[in-house]
């Protein structure tokens, strides 16, 4: 019995041990269930750190790119040094004034009243005996319209026949007239660009004359067409009925023809250039009133055109603030016309006098006669003085001292930029004539490298050997 009792407790102990181990496992189960949550939290923390690091790297990259862009823009915005070689040049000091043009010319008056029809182009040279214009009676307007229609029909038919291969030589005449019209068209375009239509009547007259000359030349071409022959016969009859032969103006003196008149043609002769006074000069430059008579009504004995037969012309100036000693007689000068970008060379001074109103100058020239044929006055520039020496841009000058006439230049010496003080001899809006100062360490001379924009580089920087 005792043996059984003693064995039971042992069995109980053995049975109770597994129970405690099961309870321990059940106690550990809650901590095991928290492992996925903790792992998830750690993963999220790692992801957050990774995102923060990535964002920091991204921001730093953006900042780096921005800095590089700013540096690049600053480098591009900063002007690069511009180097030039100093060379010898000349600066001219000029004065502007109004020139009165005197030439040998004569006017022609109409023998009867009527409608003027020019036959010579404005500013063209004409020969003795050449037809210059028709004066059509005023009561023949209907017949004139018939004549113009007949002329248009002739030109249209001639063009049609030429395109079909008839009329040998007609194409050359058309090409010649086209080349003559081209400069006039260019002048019209230039005036339209400038917004000026003051010369449009003269251009129209010149175009009509060129077309009339083309029609006259085409009359010599045999197109062998009955319709054209009939039109030419009708034109001849209309001209005869209009009395054009009786009202024709012929050239009596070879020269340059113009239909612009100012009433001074017969009074302002070349001899006046020797005796003209300042008072007469002022009266003449304001007295002339131009009027153009191309293809317009005229009265009997009215001047309708003028012929300039002079091989030379005279330009008279009255200039203040200059002296006759600056323009010695016999000296040859050049006159500039800035408004037309025109240069009049070979102007010899034949008269130079100091007066109370200024210096009276008279120039004689054989240049630009045809170009100035329709002008009585012009605005011209004359060179008063010239200075020659080392010529540099005004933009290269720094620290200008107007009292001492000195300035600083940046030159390249020994591969480095150096500052040099120079003396200013003369200057205009764009350039200056300089002279080196002997006491300066660095002195410019011909072929010295000059920094044209000294603000773009500092003194002492290395440029290169």
The full DSSP string for 85-141 is E-EEEEEEEEEEEEEEEE--EEEEE-SS-EEEEE-S-TT-EE-TT-EEEEEE-GGGH
Q: Enter the pTM of the model.
A: 0.62
Average pLDDT score over residue span 389-401: 94
Residue 195 or residue 108, greater confidence: 108
Average pLDDT score over residue span 73-97: 85
Q: Which two tokens stand for residue 169?
A: 């030589």
Cβ neighbors of 452 (< 8 A, separation 6 or more) are 82, 83, 84, 393, 395, 396
How many CB atoms lie under 10 A from the CB of residue 138? Answer: 14
pLDDT > 90: percent of the chain: 34
SS3 300: coil
Q: In this predicted structure, what is the pLDDT of residue 243?
A: 64
Whether residue 452 is predicted with pLDDT greater than 80 in this model: the reply is yes
Whether residue 272 is predicted with pLDDT greater than 90 in this model: the reply is yes
Whether residue 17 is predicted with pLDDT greater than 50 in this model: the reply is no
Average pLDDT, the chain: 83
- Give the ranges where 129-261 is alpha helix by DSSP (H): 141-163, 170-194, 200-218, 226-242
Burial (0-12, 13-18, 19+ Cβ within 10 Å), 278: middle
Q: Which two tokens stand for residue 320?
A: 């203040």
Q: For residue range 127-167, list pLDDT tens digits in order.
A: 888 888 888 877 777 777 888 888 888 888 888 888 887 87
Residue with tokens 């069995």: 11
SS3 145: helix
Rounded-to-10 torsion of CA 188, 251, 246, 231? -50
Whether residue 9 is predicted with pLDDT greater than 60 in this model: the reply is no
Residue 62 is inside which H or E element, if any? helix 35-77
Residue 442 or residue 26, greater confidence: 442
Q: In this predicted structure, what is the pLDDT of residue 246?
A: 56
pLDDT > 70: percent of the chain: 88
Q: In this predicted structure, what is the pLDDT of residue 218?
A: 80
Residue 41 is inside which H or E element, if any? helix 35-77
Q: For residue range 299-341, list pLDDT tens digits in order.
A: 888 888 889 888 899 999 999 989 999 999 999 999 999 888 8
Whether residue 86 is predicted with pLDDT greater than 90 in this model: the reply is yes
Residue 203 or residue 91, greater confidence: 91
Cβ neighbors of 108 (< 8 A, separation 6 or more) are 132, 249, 252, 303, 304, 305, 306, 307
Average pLDDT score over residue span 385-397: 93
Whether 81 contacts 453, CB under 8 Å: yes
**HSE of 122, CA atoms in CB hemisphere, 13 A:** 27
Cβ neighbors of 459 (< 8 A, separation 6 or more) are 410, 417, 418, 419
Whether 232 contacts 165, CB under 8 Å: no
Average pLDDT score over residue span 174-187: 85
What is the CATH code for 83-92+389-456? 2.40.420.20
Q: In this predicted structure, what is the pLDDT of residue 408?
A: 95
At residue 435 the predicted structure's pLDDT band, cuts being 50, 70 and 90, is very high
At residue 213 the predicted structure's pLDDT band, cuts being 50, 70 and 90, is confident
Q: In this predicted structure, what is the pLDDT of residue 4?
A: 43
Q: In this predicted structure, what is the pLDDT of residue 412?
A: 93
Q: In this predicted structure, what is the pLDDT of residue 228?
A: 87
Whether residue 193 is predicted with pLDDT greater than 50 in this model: the reply is yes
Q: In this predicted structure, what is the pLDDT of residue 16?
A: 45
Average pLDDT score over residue span 277-297: 78
Q: In this predicted structure, what is the pLDDT of residue 12?
A: 45
Q: Which two tokens stand for residue 372?
A: 């100035």
Weakest mean pLDDT among 117-126, 302-311, 342-351: 117-126
Whether residue 119 is predicted with pLDDT greater than 50 in this model: the reply is yes
Q: Which of 385, 379, 384 is nearest to 317 (CA)?
A: 379
């Amino acid at each position: 019995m005792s043996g059984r009792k003693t064995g039971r407790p042992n069995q109980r102990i053995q049975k109770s041990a597994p129970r405690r181990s099961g309870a321990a496992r059940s106690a550990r189960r809650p901590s095991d269930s928290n492992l996925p949550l903790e792992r998830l939290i750690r993963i999220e923390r790692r992801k957050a750190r990774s995102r923060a690091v990535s964002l920091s790297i991204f921001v730093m990259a953006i900042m780096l790119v921005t800095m590089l862009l700013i540096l690049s823009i600053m480098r591009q915005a900063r002007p690069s040094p511009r180097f030039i070689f100093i060379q010898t040049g000349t600066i001219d000091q000029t004065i502007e004034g109004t020139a009165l043009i005197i030439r040998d010319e004569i006017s022609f008056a109409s023998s009867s009243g009527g409608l003027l029809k020019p036959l010579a182009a404005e500013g063209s040279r004409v020969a003795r005996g050449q037809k210059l214009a028709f004066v059509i009676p005023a009561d023949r307007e209907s017949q004139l319209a018939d004549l113009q229609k007949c002329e248009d029909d002739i030109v249209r038919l001639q063009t049609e026949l030429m395109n079909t291969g008839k009329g040998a030589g007609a194409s050359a005449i058309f090409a010649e007239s086209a080349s003559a019209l081209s400069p006039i068209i260019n002048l019209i375009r230039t005036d339209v660009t400038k917004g000026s239509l003051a010369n449009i009547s003269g251009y129209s007259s010149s175009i009509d004359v060129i077309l009339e000359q083309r029609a006259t030349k085409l009359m010599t071409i045999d197109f062998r067409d009955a319709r054209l022959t009939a039109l030419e016969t009708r034109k001849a009859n209309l001209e005869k009925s209009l009395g054009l032969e009786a009202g024709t103006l012929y050239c009596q003196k070879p020269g340059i023809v113009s239909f612009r008149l100012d009433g001074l043609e017969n009074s302002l002769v070349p001899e006046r250039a020797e005796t003209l006074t300042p008072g007469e000069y002022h009266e003449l430059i304001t007295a002339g009133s131009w009027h153009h008579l191309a293809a317009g009504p005229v009265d009997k004995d009215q001047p309708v055109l003028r012929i300039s037969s002079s091989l030379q012309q005279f330009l008279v100036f009255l200039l203040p603030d200059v002296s006759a000693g600056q323009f010695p007689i016999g000296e040859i000068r050049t006159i500039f016309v800035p408004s037309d970008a025109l240069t009049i060379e070979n102007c010899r001074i034949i008269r130079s006098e100091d007066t109370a109103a200024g210096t009276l100058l008279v120039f004689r020239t054989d240049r630009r006669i045809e170009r100035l044929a329709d002008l009585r006055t012009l605005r011209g520039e004359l060179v008063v003085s010239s200075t020659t020496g080392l010529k540099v841009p005004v933009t290269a000058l720094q620290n200008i001292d107007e009292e001492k006439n000195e300035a600083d230049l940046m030159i390249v010496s020994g591969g480095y930029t150096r500052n040099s003080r120079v003396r200013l001899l003369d200057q205009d809006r764009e350039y200056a004539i300089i002279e080196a100062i002997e006491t300066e360490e660095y002195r410019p001379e011909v072929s010295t490298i000059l920094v044209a924009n000294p603000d773009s580089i500092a003194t002492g920087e290395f440029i290169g050997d």
